Amino acid sequence: MSVWRLHVHTREGGLGKYCLANNVIAMGWSFKELLNSSAPEEKDLREKVNGLNESWDDFVECAEANGYDFDCVLSLHDEVKPCDSVWLFVDDSYYVARISEQSHWRFSQEAREINAANQFTDIRWHYVGNKKDLIPPIIKNSFADDEKIFSRVLDYNVEGFSAWLLRALEDEQETIEPQNIWRILLRPGEDISKYCLANNVAAMGWSFKSLSEEDPELEKSVRNIKTWKDFLKCVEKYKYYKTLDGSLRRFHDEIKIGDVILMCSEDRYYYSVVTEKSQWRFNQDARNIDAANQLTDIYWKEIKNFSAIDTALYNQFHVVGKTFRRVYKNEIWNFILNSLKKN
């Protein structure tokens, strides 16, 4: 999932309000200068442009003939995909939308007069407002850049943030909170947490460590684990795993896009937001440190404003419990928001 920002200058024709009212992403390159032109040398191009609708090839031909540099329109047409999210800033308020399966590019003849002919349809905008503690700085800062009308926001945590925010807004919930907050508790003195930080994963055990001498046939099966079903089959055969710990089942079955994972490493505290790229895998190369069960594309950020007096968070890592569990302390989310705000 990618995150985009549409930076339209509302003082010039109210394009932001137009997008909101018409459920579209809209931008220029509309051949507005040809609307009232009667120059004979432009006759063929005028007729071609006047016939534009949903033929991308015709638009490209006209744009190149007119000398347009239309990189933003190319990004809109070629790179925006279903489930991507897009942010808009209008009248000091933020809006966000998810690209749907029905969304597609079109050239709107009716919008040429306000220079908004290049459009992406079926965009359901959601009002977010301008809450200081909710909007990540990277989103705010992206609207300070006037260089491009339409560009991608390159930040994995913002991808996850946008995903759970949209889920909350689409469900019409009154309060916006992360879907779930999880705590992964890794044994101190081992290198698993360092491994997680270095490899952008969340990792747990149940790795069938050192099986080659004990059970060569089972080792062969473990070496062939590709799916969760393969893993469960090996678990059933392995005498030391008579029952699979609930932590690992939660790790695989319950974690969702937009969830937040917390981790402690060497008395430093980290968080990450689960994105659509995150997926379970059994990593053979991590069996030797008992960290084969992994969730990929987990990009950790330190909670820099943490202090020992923040007992709600501190206690999650200093009270013995399950390796992977849900955290029910809502105030912990404030730490994460503050960390987003400072990064």
Distance CA 3, CA 159 (A): 6
Give whole-number Cα distances, 5 to 15, 148, 184, 218, in Å. Answer: 14, 10, 33, 51
Q: What is the pLDDT of residue 335?
A: 55
Distance CA 235, CA 202 (A): 20
For the ranges 63-67, 106-110, 228-232, which has the lowest average pLDDT? 63-67
With cut-offs at 50, 70 and 90, classify the pLDDT of residue 288: confident
In this structure, is the dihedral angle defined by the CA atoms of residues 70, 72, 77 and 78, taken in order, positive or negative?
Answer: positive
Q: What is the pLDDT of residue 53?
A: 80
pLDDT digits (tens, 9 = 90+) for 216-266: 888 888 899 999 999 988 887 776 555 566 788 888 888 888 788 888 887
Q: What is the pLDDT of residue 187?
A: 66
DSSP string, 96-160: EEE--TT--EEE-GGGGGGT--EEE-----EEEE--TTTS-HHHHHHTT--S-SEEEE--HHHHH
With cut-offs at 50, 70 and 90, classify the pLDDT of residue 68: confident
Q: In the chain, pLDDT over 90 holds for what percent of residues?
A: 22
With cut-offs at 50, 70 and 90, classify the pLDDT of residue 49: confident
Say yes or no: domain 181-342 is CATH 3.30.200. no
pLDDT digits (tens, 9 = 90+) for 168-217: 677 644 344 556 788 887 765 567 888 999 999 999 888 887 665 677 88
With cut-offs at 50, 70 and 90, classify the pLDDT of residue 52: confident
Q: Which residue has the higher pLDDT, 170 or 63?
A: 63
Q: What is the pLDDT of residue 6?
A: 93
Q: What is the pLDDT of residue 139?
A: 87
Q: In the chain, pLDDT over 70 holds for what percent of residues?
A: 79
Q: What is the pLDDT of residue 308?
A: 44
Evaluate if residue 91 carries a pLDDT over 80: yes
Buried b (16+ CB within 10 A) or exposed e, 295-316: bbbbbbbebeebeeebeebeeb
Residue whose entry in the numeric block shows the structure tokens 């290198």: 191
Contact 295, 199 (CB under 8 A): no
Evaluate if residue 106 carries a pLDDT over 80: yes
Evaluate if residue 292 carries a pLDDT over 80: yes
pLDDT digits (tens, 9 = 90+) for 114-125: 888 999 999 999
Distance CA 305, CA 335 (A): 7
Domain boundaries, the chain: 3-154, 181-342
pLDDT digits (tens, 9 = 90+) for 134-167: 788 888 888 887 778 888 898 877 887 787 788 7
